[in-house]
Amino acid sequence: MTSATALLVAEPAACTDELDRALRDDGFEVSHADIDGVESQAADLVLVSASFGLHRIALLSQRLAGPEDSPTVVVFPGEDLEELQACVRGGFDYVVPPFLPALLRTRLTSCRERGRLTRAVEEMAAVASLREYERDLSIAREIQSGFLPDELPCPPGWELAARFRPAKQVAGDFYDGFDLADGRRLGLVVADVCDKGIGAALFMALIRTLVRHTAQHTGTGDPACDIGVEPLRQAVCGTNRYLARNHLRQGYFATLFFGVLDPDTGMLFYINGGHNPPVLARAAGGRFLLEPTGPAVGMMPDSEFAIGQTRLLPGDQLFVYTDGVVEARDNGGGQFGTERMLDLIGRPASCADVLLDRVDERLRRHVGSAEQSDDITMLALRRQVRGRPTGRREAQG
């Protein structure tokens, strides 16, 4: 107890001479204060008169509790022993007269040790509950990754690639790519569930499942229509109906782009449900935006979705993304912006992966050390130029 400091907190009129003397005899540097005059970092040991009452003493103790080391707070009796009892019942340690140095020293040592133990237990409990939360979250992340495709299908003559960077452990974004109609069509999806965190992640899992399952289990329908159209329509309308019927009150919805490609002809049928318009960059020059053909999915029960259509020619590429790309912020709060993104997409790229790496690299440079504020998802589909395969897959295979 070398150069330890003690603070005696009592009414100015109260007599604390005996306690003061005993503490000094024990090597303490003693100072005095009224209860309102106590500053944090006041002393190693704070002795408070029980005459202030449990409530004020508890507030003082709270005020003195620091993030690192808090002083040990001990009460001593004023005139009324009832007040002391109330404090002891409230969990405070105490000393009582006669204040003889040897007795006081033993009591204070045990008070101090008990205080340290209590704090250690509280800290351990806090750390344990944080660890448990972190473990749950990392399990959620792992399960969620099972709702993304292990690898994207890639019909001959085409490249399909994606990038996915959640802002938190779990994401509301997702992308998907799967075969339809016995491999005669390719389905591709990019979606953004509103909001983020665990709630959005749960709805991501639901929406992804509904869309994929419905698309893959819907027949090709009317022979006069393209074989991809009916699965497309059913998947989006069915998912909207399901969400509106069962989950409208929770207020989650998703913006979603779902395209169905005929790899032989390059025809693409699509529904854009309130999603940031995908960009079609033509090899011959020019960019086209695939604007919404209906509202966000799950927002309203009576939504209608039209089918859009376009055709990818050799060398054309389609870039589908979520708002996390254009709304990515730098340290000053400045957004990445649509113009910058369009400029990057408009330049020729040797393959889909190169295009995504280019945008991703510029995005990372823009965000710099700022915190990533939203999930970032990008998907690129590119039709290869016949006879001149330039994609990475070909180079490796």
Partner 1 sequence: MSFQAKVRSQDGVVTFRLAGELDSRSAPRFHEMITQAVVPAARKLVLQMDELSYMSSAGLRCLVYAHQRAGNGVDIELVGTQPEVAETIRLTGFDRSLIMRAHR
Site stretch for partner 1 (CB under 8 A), options 3-11, 51-59, 268-276, 386-394: 268-276
Can you tell me which of 35, 88, 198, 300 binds partner 1, judged by CB under 8 A? 300
Least distance to partner 1 from the beta carbon of 275, Å?
8
User: Among residues 228 and 324, whose Cβ is nearest to partner 1?
Assistant: 324
Least distance to partner 1 from the beta carbon of 213, Å?
24
Count of residues interacting with partner 1 (CB under 8 A): 26
Q: Which of 232, 173, 182, 241 is nearest to 208 (CA)?
A: 173
20: contact with partner 1 by CB under 8 A: no
Q: Can you say whether the dihedral through the CA atoms of 189, 194, 195, 197 is positive or negative?
A: negative
Residue 129 tokens, joined: 């509950």
Q: Which of 73, 10, 81 is nearest to 42 (CA)?
A: 73
User: Among residues 84 and 341, whose Cβ is nearest to partner 1?
Assistant: 341
DSSP conformation letters of 348-374: --SSHHHHHHHHHHHHHHHHTTSPP-S
Can you tell me which of 292, 317, 319, 341 binds partner 1, judged by CB under 8 A? 292
Alpha-carbon distance values, 219 to 211, 222, 238, 272 (Å): 14, 9, 14, 21
337: contact with partner 1 by CB under 8 A: no
CA 189 to chain centre: 22
- Residues 269-288, one symbol each (x = binds partner 1 by CB under 8 A, - = not), give ----xxxx------------
Under 8 Å CB-to-CB from 140, ≥6 apart: which residues? 169, 170, 198, 201
Q: Can you say whether the dihedral through the CA atoms of 189, 194, 196, 201 is positive or negative?
A: negative
Can you tell me which of 25, 26, 44, 327 binds partner 1, judged by CB under 8 A? 327
Can you tell me which of 28, 52, 252, 270 binds partner 1, judged by CB under 8 A? 252
In contact, 157 and 172? CB cutoff 8 Å: no
Least distance to partner 1 from the beta carbon of 167, Å?
9
Residue 11, number of CB atoms within 10 A of its CB: 13
- Residues 142-171, one symbol each (x = binds partner 1 by CB under 8 A, - = not), give ------------------------------
User: Among residues 48 and 299, whose Cβ is nearest to partner 1?
Assistant: 299
Distance CA 70, CA 195 (A): 40
In contact, 255 and 276? CB cutoff 8 Å: yes
Q: Is 197 left (phi over 0), alpha (psi -120 to 50) or beta?
A: left
Site stretch for partner 1 (CB under 8 A), options 47-55, 204-212, 249-257, 346-354: 249-257
Can you tell me which of 16, 72, 303, 377 binds partner 1, judged by CB under 8 A? 303
Buried-state track 317-338, b at ≥16 Cβ within 10 A, e below 16: bbbbbbbbbbebbeeeeeebeb
User: Among residues 22 and 297, whose Cβ is nearest to partner 1?
Assistant: 297
In contact, 297 and 240? CB cutoff 8 Å: yes
Least distance to partner 1 from the beta carbon of 346, Å?
21
**Three-state SS at 102:** helix
Least distance to partner 1 from the beta carbon of 137, Å?
16
168-197 binders of partner 1 (CB under 8 A): 192, 194-197
Given strand 267-273, what is the order of strands in its sheet?
173-180, 185-193, 254-261, 267-273, 308-311
75-134 binders of partner 1 (CB under 8 A): none
Can you tell me which of 373, 389, 390, 393 binds partner 1, judged by CB under 8 A? 373
248: contact with partner 1 by CB under 8 A: yes
Name the site residues for partner 1 (rule: CB under 8 A): 192, 194-197, 248-249, 251-253, 255, 273-276, 292, 294-296, 299-300, 303, 323, 327, 373-374
